[in-house]
Chain A
Amino acid sequence: MSCTAPPSCGTSAKLQAPFLTFENVRLRYGDADDSLALNGLDMTIGKGQFVAVVGPSGCGKSSLMKLATGLLMPTSGSIVAEGKPVLEPLKIVGMAFQNPTLLPWRNLLSNIMLPLEIAQPHRSRLRANRKMYEGLARQLLETVGLKGFENRHPWMMSGGMQQRANLCRSLIHEPELLMLDEPFGALDAFTREELWSVLQTVFMQRAFTCVLVTHDLREAAFLADVVFVMSARPGKVVATHRVDLPRPRTITDTFDPAFIEIVSQIRREIAHVWHGQTASGSPQ
């Protein structure tokens, strides 16, 4: 994919500094033959980059998330975050999953503020600066369109609203790395597209590094700077795809021939890879 509008290529400057690197990573659960989840995975994620990982179900996408955040250690290979090998859970991460997992006994505001009660340095500052932190939380809720819902409980809200709140919770402690595992998978199409835009807005405002695991190719192309295509189990990266469309991208843009071409190109690669042939790698 060539760059059509030069200003949009600002992301490529950030690519110089790798934020997270996977090198020949192999992950095995137990000893059985089919227990190999990942094999020979290489992936480089630049600082401030929005990366999407697409792959067939069971290709180890979720294992990838756990490896990247240090919740799981690879069987072999190395994972390096900001120049340091990942040997224990990273503490600069925000995570959100398909299941919003908000705590039903807390209202929205205190749900959002949960990470502040755990992650340092906020943990020790929270008591003294509660007003300030509450302000931050309210501001974040406003950004995702949940202003006025601070005192509601999660079970009073729709799935889309819960997912917005989930996004807020993953961002409140200003993580450098945001990991999203099919966060919009359970939502209806309209809500999903709305949340794409919300996520893009937050991403542009806060300049964090983001890894989005998804099986929705339009979602991947809409949000990401780089799309990694993974093979079936044992998973590895078989194609890398740059999406150099300018931001902010709008839902209308997704009907643009250029966008459709990108999506169908990824789809062709995937069809090629997932039907058993060996991939020749990146189309670039």
Chain B
Amino acid sequence: MSPKSFRRLERAMPWIVILGLLIAWEITVQALHVRKFILPPPTDVYAALIQYHEPILLNSLFTLENTLAGFGIGVIVGLVLGLTIGSSRLIYAGLYPLLIGINSVPKAAVVPLLVIWMGIGQAPAITTAFMLCFFPIAVNVAMGLATTEPELEDVLRSLGASKLDILIKVGLPRSMPYFFASLKVSITLAFVGAVISETIASNDGVGYMMLQAASQFRTPLIFAGLFVIAAMGIITYMLFAFLENRMTGWALRKQTIMMTGG
């Protein structure tokens, strides 16, 4: 295979896999006569998407809004937290177990508490999205800071550099690839958080819509909701992957050069 056609195939691969999966699904469901409220064929899901496109669009925008708001707070908190625990061993020792504890708590279990505090709707959804997504950002940024070579720190300290100098000149740029890598993971987690909360405590959003559809056995609509969430997740993921490539290309290029032995 020529390199050019290989690259064309590489770009087509995701579509081939998704399309293949949908076709296999369709054929299996039709052949085994699975009942539609158990597992609808993709064509029915598509029909539901078309039929209910207006409520789906409105609810998706609501979910997207919550997700992005929670994600935005998560980015700021995660970055600040990561920089703090990454640059101070004492703060790291103090906060790390606590953070792991917070991260281990199932977020669905916290939503009822959030409802008591904030009521239902947007506020608990944003909070849940935030709680799910700040942790990977904080851990990654802290890890990035930890990769600063001790020799380089010595070099800079012997020049009279303060801790802040080292953080700004070396630590921060060094942790940026880790930061951007974590954004991709975090945005998808933020979707999970928002939808969980909407499922439990909201009158809007994709999560609420799916719960309503389930109570009426409108399974194709549930799947339509799932598809929309997945699509939003993929698009935002790719957006951040693109951003990562643009902002910290040096880290990726370094790897490819090293892999080819250059």
Contacts and interface: CB of A to CB of B under 8 A. Distances in A.
A90 interface: yes
B6 interface: no
Given A71-B154, A103-B173, A105-B173, A155 B257 contact: yes
Chain A interface size range: 20 to 34
B174 to A, nearest CB: 8
Chain B interface size range: 20 to 34
Nearest to A153: B250
A89 B160 contact: yes
Interface string B158-177: 11110001000110011010
Interface in B130-177: 149, 151-152, 154-161, 165, 169-170, 173-174, 176
Contacts of A170: 155
Contact of B154 (A66, A115, A120, A155): A66
A155 B258 contact: yes
A5 B126 CA distance: 81
A77 to B, nearest CB: 20
Given A90-B158, A103-B170, A118-B159, 14 more contacts: A69-B158, A89-B158, A95-B151, A95-B155, A101-B149, A101-B152, A103-B173, A105-B251, A119-B160, A153-B250, A155-B250, A155-B253, A179-B158, A181-B151
Contacts of A181: 151
Contacts of A94: 158
Contacts of A169: 155
Interface in A78-128: 89-91, 93-97, 99, 101, 103-105, 114-115, 117-120
A93 B157 CA distance: 10
A71 B152 CA distance: 13
Interface of B: 149, 151-152, 154-161, 165, 169-170, 173-174, 176, 248, 250-251, 253-254, 257-258, 262
Contacts of B170: 103
B151 A101 contact: yes
B250 A71 contact: no
Given A97-B151, A104-B251, A155-B254, A173 B173 contact: no
Nearest to B262: A156
Contact of B159 (A104, A119, A155): A119
A118 B257 CA distance: 30
A156 B217 CA distance: 60
28 contacts: A69-B158, A71-B154, A71-B158, A89-B157, A89-B160, A91-B158, A91-B159, A94-B158, A95-B155, A95-B158, A97-B151, A97-B154, A99-B149, A99-B151, A101-B149, A101-B151, A101-B152, A101-B155, A103-B173, A105-B248, A105-B251, A115-B155, A118-B160, A120-B160, A153-B253, A155-B254, A156-B262, A173-B159
